Amino acid sequence: MKSIKKHINIFIMLMIVSHSCSSDDSNFIAESEYTSVNNLPAPQFGGQGQPASGPFTKFDFSSGSITTNEINWDIGFRGTTIIVNGGESMGTLDEPTRNGNAAVYIVNDIFSNVLQVEAGLFVQDSSSSYAINIGSGNGWYNYTGSPEHLILPIPGRVLVFRTRDSGYAKVEILSYYYDAPENPNALTDQSRFYTFNYVYQSDSSQINF
């Protein structure tokens, strides 16, 4: 059965609008078959030398939505930090307990070219570091510095996740600014709003996207 592209618009009020989809279990992904998430809020308090705080916005791949459930979540967003529901907490303020089997690794390639899962590469969060390293150039983004002061996704960097219940997802982050402006301006565009594409493979027996 051919998958139907679905769009999910997530607003700051956490209103989610989605279209249903179905998928071919054996060959999940084609270039035009993915889910888009727009304006997922990732607020943060502190930072810039002060301890970061505030709840992570938790996202569940199986439902394709934000969740407040303490167990049924796969990844969490706070500022530029992305965590997985697997491993251990680093112990920062308001960080959720890990209770799943989620993990992640990063591939340097075009989103549509990432077709297989490399199970031996998965890393979970730990008490000493997040699986997705923080800091400019270390994970999913670059910080431009003065005078632009922009957070920009690194082109060709794909995040491959094992979900909390051992499914798989691949993610391409497109923007960190509200409504994903083509040329963001740090002075006028609201930051800490993620726009990304993803493909979710719920069948853990399949290692192909």
Is the pLDDT confidence value at 37 over 70? yes
Q: Give the span between the Cα atoms of 196 and 112, in whole angstroms.
A: 14
- Within 10 angstroms of residue 2's Cβ, the number of other Cβ atoms is 9
Q: Which pLDDT score, from 0 to 100, does residue 49 have?
A: 77
CB 209 within 8 A of CB 117: yes
Q: Which pLDDT score, from 0 to 100, does residue 33 have?
A: 84
Q: Give the span between the Cα atoms of 56 and 81, in whole angstroms.
A: 9
Calculate what percentage of the chain has a pLDDT beyond 70.
83
Q: Give the span between the Cα atoms of 209 and 198, in whole angstroms.
A: 11
Is the pLDDT confidence value at 18 over 70? no
Condensed to tens digits (0 to 9), the pLDDT of residues 129-169 reads 999 999 999 999 999 999 999 999 999 999 999 999 999 99
Condensed to tens digits (0 to 9), the pLDDT of residues 92-138 reads 999 999 999 999 999 999 999 999 999 999 999 999 999 999 999 99
Q: Where are the domains of the chain?
A: 6-201
Q: Which pLDDT score, from 0 to 100, does residue 68 have?
A: 97
**pTM of this prediction?**
0.84
